[in-house]
């Protein structure tokens, strides 16, 4: 029983540090000292080193946690879809909407764009999985799936920057138009690409 309580306390401490790090990343404060991060998390400095060797290790864990969490949400919201082209498009459209609905997570993503494109976890891993599935099913016709991932990832990041810079722009319309263009580039016929990119979406806010 005591051991279980200790493990739960350690898990809470680690989670508090990760959440604090995500806030610092989202605000672009990558040079903040460890002491300031631990104070924000309401955690002692000694406890920090029970979980992480360095601030870089913490920030990497914070990034992976944020992207894995959102990626799992996407998996849950696309789990009943059989068409991999539709899965790819719906995930992209939901991610585009994330920039406005979850601005802190969006900023974490934007401040670590390179990590997003090369990570074997999180959103990039899932996007590559969906591209490969669509290629195997004959829905996409691109020659190099890695380059397709780079284009999709770059679109997500550039869209986020645009939506933050232009708060008056309709995020749903912009995201759906890019999704349509991506589907066409990946080999989906134009009329079908438009129809897929305009289908009703599940409620991301919920």
What is the per-residue pLDDT across 2-40, written as a single tens digit (0 to 9) for each? Answer: 668 888 888 999 999 999 998 888 787 878 999 999 999
- Is the confidence at residue 131, as pLDDT, over 90? yes
**Distance (Å, rounded) from C-alpha 15 to C-alpha 21?**
10
**Distance (Å, rounded) from C-alpha 173 to C-alpha 128?**
24
Which CATH number, 1.20.1050, 2.60.40, 3.30.70, 1.10.10, labels domain 1-52? 1.10.10
Q: What is the pLDDT of residue 70?
A: 82
- Is the confidence at residue 120, as pLDDT, over 70? no
For CATH 1.10.10, list the domain ranges present in the chain.
1-52
For CATH 1.10.357.10, list the domain ranges present in the chain.
62-196
DSSP 3-state percent helix, strand, coil across the chain (nearest 5): 75, 0, 25
User: Which has more pLDDT, 87 or 125?
Assistant: 87
- Is the confidence at residue 1, as pLDDT, over 60? no
Hey, what CATH class is 62-196 in? mainly alpha
The mean of the pLDDT values for the chain is 89
């Amino acid at each position: 029983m005591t051991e279980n309580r200790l493990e739960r306390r350690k898990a809470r401490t680690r989670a508090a540090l990760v959440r604090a790090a995500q806030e610092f990343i989202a605000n672009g404060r990558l040079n903040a000292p460890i002491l300031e991060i631990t104070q924000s998390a309401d955690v002692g400095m000694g406890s920090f080193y029970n979980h992480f060797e360095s601030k870089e290790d913490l920030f990497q864990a914070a990034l992976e946690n944020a992207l894995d969490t959102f990626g799992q949400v996407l998996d849950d919201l696309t789990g009943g879809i059989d068409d991999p082209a539709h899965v790819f498009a719906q995930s992209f459209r939901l991610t585009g909407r994330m920039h406005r609905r979850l601005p802190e997570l969006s900023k974490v993503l934007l401040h670590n764009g390179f990590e997003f494109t090369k990570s074997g976890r999180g959103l990039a891993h899932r996007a590559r999985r969906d591209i490969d599935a669509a290629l195997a099913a004959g829905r996409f016709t691109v020659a190099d799936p890695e380059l397709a991932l780079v284009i999709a990832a770059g679109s997500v990041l550039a869209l986020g920057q645009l939506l933050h810079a232009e708060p008056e722009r309709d995020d749903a319309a912009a995201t759906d138009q890019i999704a349509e263009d991506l589907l066409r580039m990946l080999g989906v016929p134009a009329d079908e690409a438009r129809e897929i990119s305009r289908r009703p979406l599940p409620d991301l806010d919920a």
